[in-house]
Structure 1
Amino acid sequence: MLTLSIFAVLLLMLLIDIPIAVAIGLTAVVFFVAQGQSSFLAMLPQRMYSGTTGFTLLAIPFFILAGNLMNCGGTTQRLFRFARALVGHVPGGVGQVSVVSSMIFSGMSGSAVADAAGLGQIQHRAMVDAGYKPTISAAIVAGASTIGPVIPPSIPFVLYGAITSVSVSRLFLAGAIPGAVMGLAMMLAIWLMAKPRNLPKDPRANLHEIWDSFTAAFLPLMAPVIIIGGITTGFFTPTEASVIASLYALALGFLYRDLTWKEIPAILFTSLKQTCGLMFIIATANFFGWFTIFERIPDALITQLAAFGTTATGFIWIVIAIVLVLGCFIDGNAIFLITLPIFMKLCPLYGVDMVNFGVVMTLLIMIGNLTPPVGMCLFAVESFAKVGIWSLAYECFPYLIAILAVTILCAFVPEIALWLPNYVMGAAG
């Protein structure tokens, strides 16, 4: 009963438009006061501070900065041109190009919103110019942008690793194959819709154009190789990789002369604002997580699930249902911070691998990025597409089905995610 009351109050606060970070922290404060435990509020500053000081979390601002630097430079245009030369002739044309370019860009930014707001504008403009309806184009952009946090590097994986103490390197590797499958599922959806919707396609590019676009995009294409290669070989940690990604993006911007020193302060300030917003959520959510543990909510849930005879399969379906519902109302990072302190206690009970669980959770919050009223990718795309949130959400339905299918597949066939980290780093690595 206490658990339901806590989440009911939290959802109520969100529905009346209280900011996520405030709602999370205030919920814990309200229940401490209501239960006559006000003295424990003395822990609030300490829990907020400790929640944002982990070394792993240092990767977040630098991956945000790397994405912003690439979006302001010419990196995104070069990647899009190369993807267009490769798959522009496939049924679905520029729509297929948008998915492939997002898969490539995913290896640099790690953020769905960065992908949608930066590369997404290039994708949308190209599709509309090719004859796509704006709503169809915007939906493809929104759907493709969700690949960003699944294919490494990934800001959600960094956050998940910081909360659960799971190896971020293993999480990065675990996301590679599901991310690729996710991209292929979206390409299949576009291919199936191409003929009924009469989606235009490009003429097949000749070898000269493919080679020219490849050489122009070669250095940006090396970014994921450097980042993931360095992490898997142990040359640097995921946190250090985020710094290298930022420096590499900065170097590319100056090398291609797409970036000037005058633009740097604005990019830094934008990255700072995005980081502060996320860190404030992390800080208050850490206090909320401590509150749930203090109230023994995970223990109560374990007792209830055991009493109902819930199996591992049943537990996974419960998680899927909970996160899909929460995704309609709460930002994905906040979902991690609210639910993981509870879920991480339950996973060992049912023999659920924490690395694969991280992939499944990330895929689930990507669905939340495409569901109103709080779908972050929907808002990012609508800000420049101007097609209306609900029209955009309706057009995103095929991509929601594609992501959900991949999520269920990964949830019940964990080898899809675990094969690569086990192969590269060893089963116990």
Structure 2
Amino acid sequence: MMELAIIGLLFLGTLLALYAAGMPVAVAMGLTCLVIMVSPYGDGINYGLISTQLLFGLNSFTLLAIPFYLLLGRLMNHIGMTQRIFRFAGALVGQFRGGIAQVNVLASMIFSGMSGLALADAAGLGRVEYRAMRDHGYDKGISLGVSGSSAIIGPIIPPSVPIIIYAVLAEESIGELFLAGIVPGLLLGLLLMALVYALVVRREYDAREPFDPEELKESFIGAAAAILTPLIIVLGILSGYFTATEAGAVSVVYVILVGIAYGELTAGGLYRELRDSAVETFSLTFIVAVAALYGLIALQLQLPTLLAEGIGAVTTDPVGALLLIVLLLLVVGTFMETIAAITILVPILLPVIELTGIDPVHFGIVMILTLMLGLLTPPFGVILFVLEKVTDASLEEVMYAVIPFYLPILVVLLLVVLFPGLATYVPGLMPG
């Protein structure tokens, strides 16, 4: 245990110190690797090893999914699908008790197929959702809580950028992991809606919109193209017509055609979205490339083996081991962005889950669910800061507002840990 503590302090402590100093995560990981190489535990700087790992860390067909899904989200936002989805969700459930609050959750569930990133949901849809609830008489607390908690559904229901990153690093199927997120994502949405209803009844809110069949029809027609996008992805993967990467390409072509048909996508607009998504893609893939080197250094230090032995000394039960890892991820998720946490921890934790017999697909969903909770957890939960920026609330108000919404997230996380079938059943339906 002493050796694990020393190596862990050198390996993770250096990284966290650099990260806390404000360095980008990829640069912090790269410098940590150099520090390890020149330390007593390393063999000196090996330029051949560095260049090889950076090159082959990106030599993956699976990584092609990243630019496709990033571009897909940007294009769908560009042509106004966010507003169409929110309008349809309002027409669908706005007539029920606490309807506008339920619209918040429902819109986030549908919007998850557009961005795949919790921060994109909180920043893009959060402002709209928060203002709509405030306009209907809801207090700051419930408006902030619903807007923040519903945003974390995005990276769980496909498509999801964190899932793609995990799949690449874990060498698992993106399609299986996309499908594995469906049931936990829907379950989380339903439990959030149940909590919202309980809070609305308790606080005696009754802001309803009269049901208008004509508005429901018109809003559905307007939102149909947006709703169809994630269905194309999921059904295409399930049917075996294309892989998750190919589904991203098909969806991009589909959305471009829809944008042209809407008259809202010009050549200039398409160029800007291509340019901006290329910048985002470079940022993410650079992190993945450095993570390949970081993971190799971890293996050379035998850190995964030491960690596995440490967990094995406490418990050999898969559920017990998974709960210990969840506790670690909860701590990490409070101060580290999701993509960074995944790229750093997956190479270290994979040998542990293999040793304890945990399904990698099941673990991927557990990991992302846990890190999503970290985004809402003080003192450094990123969504808390996003909500502070896009609303008129203080950071303290945001922190207090999200506390009741930890309950459904923790319930879903515990259920997925205890019942792996919630994550693995749908992927089992894939052909072959």
Q: Structures share a fold, TM > 0.5?
A: yes
- 1:288-367 aligned at under 5 Å gives the runs 288-367=294-373
CA distance in 2, matches of 1:98, 1:256: 25
Match of 2:53 among 44, 47, 53: 47
Look up the equivalent residue of 1:362 and give its one-letter code: I
Match of 1:257 in 2: 263
Match of 1:8 in 2: 13
| Residue 377 (str. 1) matches residue 383 (str. 2) | yes
Per-residue CA deviations over 1:9-61 (Å, capped at 9, x if unaligned) read 22222222222222122122112211252233542222122222311111112
CA distance in 2, matches of 1:421, 1:319: 23
Tell me whether 152-161 or 274-283 shows the greater mean CA deviation.
Answer: 274-283
CA distance in 1, matches of 2:37, 2:348: 18
Per-residue CA deviations over 1:212-243 (Å, capped at 9, x if unaligned) read 22222222221122111111112111111112
Structure-1-length-normalised TM-score: 0.93
Tell me whether 314-323 or 294-303 shows the greater mean CA deviation.
Answer: 294-303
| Residue 241 (str. 1) matches residue 247 (str. 2) | yes
Gaps in structure 1 of 5+ consecutive residues = none
Aligned to 2:425, what secondary structure does the other structure show? helix
**Structure 1 position 193, deviation (Å):** 1.4
| Residue 20 (str. 1) matches residue 18 (str. 2) | no
Structure-2-length-normalised TM-score: 0.92
In the alignment, is the contact (CA less than 8 A) between 2:238 and 2:430 conserved in 1? yes
In the alignment, is the contact (CA less than 8 A) between 1:56 and 1:162 conserved in 2? yes
| Residue 34 (str. 1) matches residue 39 (str. 2) | yes
* Alignment CA distance shift 1:251-1:324 (3 Å): same
Aligned to 1:396, what secondary structure does the other structure show? helix
Look up the equivalent residue of 1:270 and give its one-letter code: D
**Structure 1 position 367, deviation (Å):** 1.1
Tell me whether 374-383 or 322-331 shows the greater mean CA deviation.
Answer: 374-383
Match of 1:149 in 2: 155
Aligned-pair RMSD on alpha carbons?
A: 2.0
Per-residue CA deviations over 1:182-204 (Å, capped at 9, x if unaligned) read 10111122112113444452234
* Alignment CA distance shift 1:13-1:192 (3 Å): same
**Structure 1 position 208, deviation (Å):** 2.5
* Alignment CA distance shift 1:259-1:325 (3 Å): same
Match of 2:406 among 400, 404, 416: 400
Aligned to 1:241, what secondary structure does the other structure show? helix
In the alignment, is the contact (CA less than 8 A) between 2:315 and 2:321 conserved in 1? no
In the alignment, is the contact (CA less than 8 A) between 2:316 and 2:356 conserved in 1? no
Q: Identity, % of aligned pairs?
A: 38
Per-residue CA deviations over 1:333-390 (Å, capped at 9, x if unaligned) read 1111111112211212222111111111110111122234543333433332242334
CA distance in 1, matches of 2:349, 2:72: 31
Match of 2:78 in 1: 72
Gaps in structure 2 of 5+ consecutive residues = none
In the alignment, is the contact (CA less than 8 A) between 1:103 and 1:147 conserved in 2? yes
CA distance in 2, matches of 1:377, 1:242: 26
Look up the equivalent residue of 1:219 and give its one-letter code: A
In the alignment, is the contact (CA less than 8 A) between 1:103 and 1:151 conserved in 2? yes
Aligned to 2:259, what secondary structure does the other structure show? helix
Match of 1:287 in 2: 293
In the alignment, is the contact (CA less than 8 A) between 1:6 and 1:31 conserved in 2? yes
* Alignment CA distance shift 1:208-1:368 (3 Å): same
Aligned to 2:85, what secondary structure does the other structure show? helix
Aligned to 2:335, what secondary structure does the other structure show? coil
In the alignment, is the contact (CA less than 8 A) between 1:74 and 1:253 conserved in 2? no
Match of 1:86 in 2: 92
In the alignment, is the contact (CA less than 8 A) between 1:107 and 1:153 conserved in 2? yes
Look up the equivalent residue of 2:242 and give its one-letter code: F
**Structure 1 position 135, deviation (Å):** 5.2
Query: What is the aligned length?
Result: 426
